[in-house]
Structures are given as structure tokens and as C-alpha cells.
Amino acid sequence: SFQPDHILRVTAQNYSQACMERYSVLVNESSPGPELRLQEDKVSWIRVYNDMEDSNVTMHWHGLSAVTAPFSDGTPMASQWPIPPGHFFDYEVRPEVDHAGTYFYHSHVGFQAVSAIGALIVESAQPPPYKYDEERIIALSDFFAKTDQEIEDGLLSANFSWSGETDAVLVNGQGRLSTNATGSCKLATISVKPGKTYRLRFIGGTALSFISLAIEGHDLFEIIEADGHYTKPVNTSYLQIASGQRYSVLLKAKTEAELEKARSRQFYFQLTTLGRPTVLTAFAVLEYPSPNTTDLTTVPAPPPLPVAKITYGWMDYALEPYKPDPNFPTSTEVTRRIIIDVHQNVSAHLVWLQSGYDWMETFPKSPYLVDIYTGKLDLDASYQRAMTSGNGFDNQTRLYPAKMNEVLEIIWQNQGAVNTGGVENHPFHGHGRHFYDIGGGDGLYNATENEKRLKGTHPLVRDTTVLYAYRSQTTALTPSGWRAWRVRVTDAGVWMMHCHILQHMVMGMQTVFAFGNRSDITVQSDPVDEGYLTFGGSAYGNVS
């Protein structure tokens, strides 16, 4: 009989983090939830139970393409019906070949991913191209004192009320409240042995925080992976990591002699939030165990390291794939450019609009992918409408449809807020086939200028890159930064593309792309078990 390979149970309960009790959504009763290790090219069935009483849930395998099983992408009302209380869904998760790397999973419903989150590592049968002795996972997340419900209600209310800034940045679930930064709540410890080389896997699992990160006394590390793809090595003294991004770096641990010279066996990790009205500095501890050192995890942290400033365009045009990628589509292959303007507007309530489109207001009645399966949604007709409406958007279905083998350029254009002229940083995330990140800059996107800049570089395939606010203040609807992606449409399915800041998602900052049409959606196993088509069912939930 059918046995899932992994079981995740989602509950909502009181849980203590940063020495504060909060009603949180947990995976297997913890945050972060259990670490999953999957194999390249191997199907793992992951059963997710919704053990909550009054909320739906879905689980998304962030950074995995889901191209072999688009019904398992975990996007509510896009790829599937949300899982109601008391039900489960069986996800067919198959990491692609050459996608060994660092990922995470999280709920895709409301604000739940602030805590319903866990590390997902994809392993390969091949040895990694870089040598290291051991690895450590460093998963970053935010802690908000307000509950998910309070935050969602505030964001969607006619009397808009902001969630507030993050109350703590956590490392592997541990940290201190901003109001108690020098308090006694224990910090996370990353333990290493002298003289060894470590692969540190950083996971940007924050709800809101964009983070600059450095390690006291260890001012050099080497980036070897970004978003599940190995890169050519790039040296840096700090990382800048946004919600949804992942990096691996190699860190050479100090030798015994160096430790003696440093007169310490414990060093602070410093994490500083970027681009927000208030700056929060948080800490964790890198430790070389020894019986007689003071425990820095319980004492006040030192003054911050000087890495707290945002670097616009950090690593843009600089990170390159480990192996040259023969599939990168050149500008002459681009069939369509879709420009999505991103701005805030306050009308009845505060929303984030993308090309005038607010996801929350137009939430579909049944999931797009289900409607495509049943033939209720005809993507060819949607495509025709999108072609005549201008800019590739189908107003009727609220989709950006694309045909197989098109090469799209998707341009996120940051604009000043209608009411205040404010501009913010947005880490944009793409589901489905990863995109080539072809850069970003200030002002308005200029394809010719960017082509010049791209000459001789090899753009990296990524799934989350930052649309920067090159200026924080401007006048309404003034172009204030852009981010450009190029993607070849090879994988049919319904793929969300959205800002990864949870507040912004809740406020509507999400778009849906539909690639191919019904006949292009071929999956290894046919998910159209009757359960998948109805609320409360599962792709394989009825298999016993």
C-alpha cells in the first residue's frame, strides 16, 4: 500500500521563541520544522496533515521547480485547493538533476510562513564540486509578537494597520527580542572544529527582514552556491540575504594557533536588518567548543560590526554559474517582454498593485490548475485576450499566459507609492522553472543599456532576486529601480511570481503565470484522482 516518505503535521499552538510565548503555526510541533534531505531526480512523497482547527494550509518547496508535478507546488488557489482542517495532501516532490543545493519549505497561506518553515537540502549522488569537511545550516527567520491573525487582519483592514517591524531576527529558531537585545535569552550556537572547512548553508526564511550578515574575526568567506545552483567562487566579507534567497559559503575555521592569538573561542555572527525605518541588530555565536570559555550565548552582545549598510545591486552581474550554461537565451531569442509595475496604493485599504492588479481582490473561485485540468479554463483563449490587452495580461482570468518555447523577459519596475512616494526593496520569487537573473538597476529598465552591461558575463539561474529601492523617496509612480529576468517557457503549469515579503503577499503583491496549455501538462503520475479536483481532497490522498 502507499506509504509517504515523509510526514509533516501542521499545528497552531502556543510556542516559545526569543523567550516569548506566541500562538504560532508549527511543523511537527517546532519552528523551524524538521530538516528534509531529498535526493536529486528521486521522487519523495511528502504527506502534509492539517491538524489546525480553523486555518487552511498548503506547503511549498521553495526553490524546487515542481516542473514534473505542477500540482505539488503548494500554492493555494493557483496549483491546488488549500488543505482544510482535518485533511491532508500528498505532495510529489522531485528535485531536478543538477539542482543539489539549499532550499526550504514553508506554508503558502497568509502569514503562516513566519513560523511554518523548515530547511530542505537536496543531495546529489555526485560529489559536490567544492571540498569541505562538514556543513552547517543557518536558517534565518523573523519573530513577530503579534499573531498571524492580528497581522493579517491589520494589513487587510479598511483602517490599515501595519504589523510593526520584526521583533526579533532568529537563527535556527533562536534569538532575542529587539527590546531585549542585551538580555539573557539564549542565542543560537554554530559549533565548529579548529582547522576544518565548513559549508555554511544560509537560508533567508525571514518574513520581512533583508539582512546583512558577517562573522566577527572571520572576515573572509567564499560564496559557492546561490539558490540551489553552484557558482564560481566569489570572496566576500559579508552576505546580503533577502527573504527567499539562499547562499552557501565556505568558511575556513581558525586553527588552534589562530585561536590562541585571537584569545577567544567564541565569535559573534552579526545580522543587521536593511532598508527599514528601524535597524535591528541580532546575533548568533560561532563557537569552537572548549570546557573553559565564557558562554557568549547568554551575555550581552558587543557593539555591531561595520557591515550594516545596504549595498544596492550586491553581487549583481558578479555571481556566475559554476559551469557555463549553454541554454542561456540571448536577447535575440526573446519573444516578449512583460513589464510589471510595482507600486503601493491606498484606496479602500492599502494594497500592493502589480500592473493594477491586486491578487486579494481577484482571488479565483477554484484553483487555476484545477480549472485547466477540467477544461474550464482555456489557456489558448486566455492567451488571445492577453495579446490584445497589451502587456501580456489577461484581465478576465487575471493571468499572464505564455506559450511553450517562448522566451520571456519579465521586468519588475519599482515605482513610488501613489499616496506617499515611498519606495521599498522587494525580493521577487519565481515558482516553476528558474529564471536567468539578467540584472537590476536604478530608474527605468533600458534593454539596450543592460545588454551592454551583460556582455561577457554569464547570468546565474536563480529563484529569488531583489527589486531594490535605489531611492527611498520619490514622487508618485516615478520609476525607482528595476529587476530583469529571462526565462524560456519549457514547463507547463501554473506558476506564481511574487514578492517574498509575507506582509506584501498578504496585501496582494502576487502574480500568476500559466505556461503551456492543458495538453502540455504531462506529469509522470496522473494526479487527477478525484480528490485533487475538490476542496478537501488530495492529489493522491485517496490512495491507501
Would you tell me which residues interact with ligand C2O (CB under 6 A)? Answer: 60, 62, 106, 108, 244, 429, 431, 496, 498, 500
Residue 499 contact, options Cu ion, ligand C2O, none, Cβ 5-8 Å cut-off depending on partner type? Cu ion
Taking the complex as a whole, how short is the minimal distance between the CB of residue 113 and ligand C2O, in angstroms? 7
By CB atoms closer than 10 A (0-12, 13-18, 19+), residue 510 is: buried
Q: What grid cell was written down for 49?
A: 496533515
342 binds, among Cu ion, ligand C2O, none (CB under 5 to 8 A by kind): none
Least CB distance to Cu ion at residue 499 (A): 3
The answer to whether the Cα torsion of 360, 366, 371, 376 is positive or negative is negative
The counts of H helices and E strands in the chain are 6, 30
For position 343 contacting Cu ion by CB under 5 A, the verdict is no
The nearest distance, CB 164 to Cu ion, in angstroms, is 16
Contact 188, 285 (CB under 8 A): yes
Among Cu ion, ligand C2O, none, the one that 47 touches (CB under a kind-dependent 5 to 8 A) is: none
Query: What are 381's three cell numbers?
Result: 483563449
Minimum CB separation of residue 414 from Cu ion in Å reads 10
Give the nearer residue to ligand C2O in terms of CB position, either 431 or 483: 431
Per partner kind, with CB cut-offs from 5 to 8 A, the member of ligand C2O, Cu ion, none near residue 246 is none
Cβ within 8 Å of residue 347, ≥6 positions away: none
Question: Which cell goes with 160?
Answer: 490599515
- Decide whether 212 or 510 has the Cβ nearer to ligand C2O: 510
Which H or E element spans position 373? Answer: helix 368-374
Closest separation between CB of residue 105 and Cu ion, Å? 21
Shortest Å, Cβ 466 to Cu ion: 10
Total residues at the site for Cu ion (CB under 5 A)?
Answer: 4
Q: Give the position of cell 503551456.
A: 516
**Residue 102: what residue type?**
T
Nearer to ligand C2O, 275 or 430 (CB): 430
Q: Which is nearer to ligand C2O, 398 or 431 (CB)?
A: 431
Q: Give the residue with the Cβ less far from ligand C2O, 206 or 240.
A: 206
Q: Which one, 258 or 442, has the nearer CB to Cu ion?
A: 442
Least distance to ligand C2O, CB of residue 110, Å: 13
Given Cu ion, ligand C2O, none, residue 541, with its beta carbon under 5 to 8 Å by kind, binds none
Q: Which residues share a beta bridge with 169?
A: 142
Residue with cell 530583469: 484
Cα gap 38→137, rounded to integer Å: 15
CB of 340 to Cu ion, least distance (A): 12
In the list Cu ion, ligand C2O, none, the entry touching 434 (Cβ below 5 to 8 angstroms by class) is none
Single residue of 426, 429, 431, 483 touching Cu ion by CB under 5 A: 426
| Among 59-67, 354-362, 397-405, 426-434, the segment contacting Cu ion (CB under 5 A) | 426-434
Q: Residue 510 CB, nearest distance to ligand C2O (Å)?
A: 8
* β-bridge mates for residue 143, sequence order: 168
Residue closer to ligand C2O (CB basis): 370 or 496: 496
**How does 231-252 read in b/e, with b if 16+ C-beta sit within 10 Å?**
beeeebebbbbbbbbbbbbbbb
Footprint of Cu ion on 489-518 (CB under 5 A):
499, 501, 504
Give the C-alpha distances (Å, rounded to integers) separating 140 from 208, 216, 244: 11, 18, 10
Identify which of residues 87 and 106 has a Cβ nearer to ligand C2O in the complex. Answer: 106
> Would you say how long the chain is, in residues?
544
Chosen from ligand C2O, Cu ion, none, partner binding at 496 (C-beta under 5 to 8 Å by type): ligand C2O
85 preceded by a cis bond (ω within 30 of 0): no
**60 or 176: whose CB is closer to ligand C2O?**
60
The dihedral formed by the CA atoms of 351, 475, 440 and 512, expressed in degrees to the nearest 10: 20
Q: How far is the CB of 293 from Cu ion (least distance, A)?
A: 41
d(CA 502, CA 111): 6
Q: Nearer Cβ to Cu ion, position 230 or 482?
A: 482
H or E element: which one contains 514?
strand 510-515
User: How many CA atoms, within 13 angstroms, populate the side-chain half-sphere of residue 248?
Assistant: 29
Pick the closer one to ligand C2O by CB: 434 or 500: 500
Closest CA to 118 of 14, 38, 234: 38
Tell me the CB-side half-sphere exposure of residue 73, using CA atoms within 13 A.
31
- 433's contact among ligand C2O, Cu ion, none, with CB below 5 to 8 A by partner kind, is none
Quote the least distance from Cβ 220 to ligand C2O, whole Å: 30
Among the listed residues 171, 247, 179, the one whose alpha carbon sits nearest the alpha carbon of residue 209? 171
Q: Whose CA is closest to 462, among 249, 273, 319? A: 319
Q: Which does 201 bind (CB under 5 to 8 A by kind): Cu ion, ligand C2O, none?
A: none
Residue whose CB is nearest to Cu ion in the complex, by number: 499
CB 80 within 8 A of CB 112: no
By Cβ distance, which residue is nearest to ligand C2O? 62
Of ligand C2O, Cu ion, none, which one sits near residue 501, judging by CB under 5 to 8 A according to partner kind?
Answer: Cu ion
Binding site residues, Cu ion, CB under 5 A: 426, 499, 501, 504
